[in-house]
Amino acid sequence: MSLPRIAVDAMGGDEGVRVMIEGAALARRQHDRFKFLLVGDEARIKAALDNHPNLRASSEILHSDGVISGEDKPSQALRRAKGTSMGRAIEAVKAGDAGAAVSAGNTGALMAIAKVSLRTLPGIDRPALAALLPTLGDNDVVMLDLGANTECDSRNLVQFAIMGAAYARVASGHEQPRVRLLNIGSEEIKGTDELREAAAILKGAAADLSMSFDGFTEADKICRGDIDVVVTDGFSGNIALKAVEGTARFVADLLRRGFTSSLRSKIGFLISKPATELLKHHLDPNNHNGAVFLGLNGIVVKSHGNANAAGVANAVAVTARLLEANVTERISADLARLGGAAWRMPNVQEERA
């Protein structure tokens, strides 16, 4: 059974067409149900497809001359969107010509274009950027928001929790995802008013939302493996994500330096190579590539700009899983299950004013 077509912004990312086409081709080899709408410069896409006949047979090309650059501001990208590969890929989702879109381009531009074109789901004030992070447990952890919204009130955080739990059910298969709010401590008195208010709402509604909510977690617990969803504002989330990624690179570089420092270290490396290869695989960001904008009327996935072909293939696989699991419909169903009570809560900032 084939899935709806996935629109790929072939011009996005640090290396553009070559890596995006190689990644889509790798995903197609791994999953022959995938079909693609490749958006961008037709001549360059056709040339890249010469090396991938299997992908060519399952794809259609949508020509676009324009490209959103990494330096473009979201406002600039919005004005130019209709003539760009990124804008046309998202427009294909809106028009029903594709089930989802994948881009490795400018994150801010992608967020702005997707939000304006697709709009948010009823009951969702703002979409959030969510990604899977590796843990010491058997599960990956869903973390959101990772930068789409720098300031959030309690309503936003509750909505993020609902969206993150829906994604976690797809990613981990847990029907009762363990959800926590990121805070500076686990005690109930810690954190901002917004965090404490969101925690109170989630505690009262967790049973109706099929999630396990037990308050707060600290940043050093994110990757322990005993949480399925970590919820925060985009400012804190982006800082935490960069800290996790930086620590992973630091550990990898430290090991590399240590194993090459002497003959004895090199011998030790050979002995421990199976373990270090496992560590390398676990920490490789390409193996967890593919962040999704949750809360939109359509699926949009962001690939790392510097992802290799395997990373792009993983982003495509994430997209396909979300399509197959109807994650957008799941979020809507959870909102309906709550009965709208949380969304009738007065806006915190308006109430304080």
67-107 pLDDT, tens digit per residue, is 988 888 888 888 888 989 999 999 999 999 999 999 998 88
The least confident of 74-78, 89-93, 283-287, 325-329 is: 283-287
What is the rounded CA–CA span in Å between residue 105 and residue 307? 11
Asked if 301 and 100 count as a contact pair (C-beta separation under 8 A), the reply is yes
Q: How confident is the model at residue 135 (pLDDT cuts 50, 70, 90)?
A: confident
Q: Rounded CA gap, 289 and 275, in Å?
A: 22
Residues near 177 by beta carbon (within 8 Å), at least 6 away in sequence: 142, 164, 165, 168, 169, 211, 212, 228, 229
Per-chain mean pLDDT for the chain: 85
In 3D space, the residue among 104, 101, 149 whose CA is nearest the CA of residue 128 turns out to be: 149
**Cα distance between residue 251 and residue 245, in whole Å:** 10
pLDDT greater than 90 at residue 16 = no
Instruction: Supply the pLDDT for residue 227.
Output: 93
Rounded CA separation 105/15 (Å): 10
Quick: pLDDT tens for 202-216: 988 877 778 899 899
- Does domain 1-118 fall under CATH 3.40.718.10? My reply is yes
**pLDDT confidence of residue 123:** 86
Helix (H, G, I), strand (E, B) or coil at 150: coil
Per-residue model confidence (pLDDT) at position 279: 55
Q: Which of 272, 232, 234 is nearest to 256 (CA)?
A: 272
Number of helical H runs and strand E runs in the chain: 13, 11
* HSE-CB of 264 using CA atoms within 13 angstroms: 0
Q: What pLDDT was estimated at residue 341?
A: 47
Write down the domain spans for the chain.
1-118, 122-293+326-353
pLDDT classification of 270: cutoffs 50, 70, 90 = low
Q: What is the pTM of this model?
A: 0.84
Contact 202, 161 (CB under 8 A): yes
Torsion sign, CA atoms 225, 231, 237, 240: negative
Q: Does 122-293+326-353 carry CATH code 3.30.2310.20?
A: no
Q: What's the pLDDT at 351?
A: 45
Q: How confident is the model at residue 347 (pLDDT cuts 50, 70, 90)?
A: very low
pLDDT at 231: 96
- CB-based contacts of 80: which residues, under 8 Å, 6+ apart? 66, 68, 72, 87
Is there a shared CATH topology between the 1-118 domain and the 122-293+326-353 domain? Answer: yes
Which burial class, exposed, middle or buried, applies to 75 when counting CB atoms under 10 A from its CB (0-12, 13-18, 19+)? exposed
Residue 245 pLDDT > 90 = no
Check whether 54 has a pLDDT greater than 70.
Answer: yes
**Ranges of H-type helices in 173-285:** 193-205, 234-259, 263-283
Question: What pLDDT score was predicted for residue 118?
Answer: 94
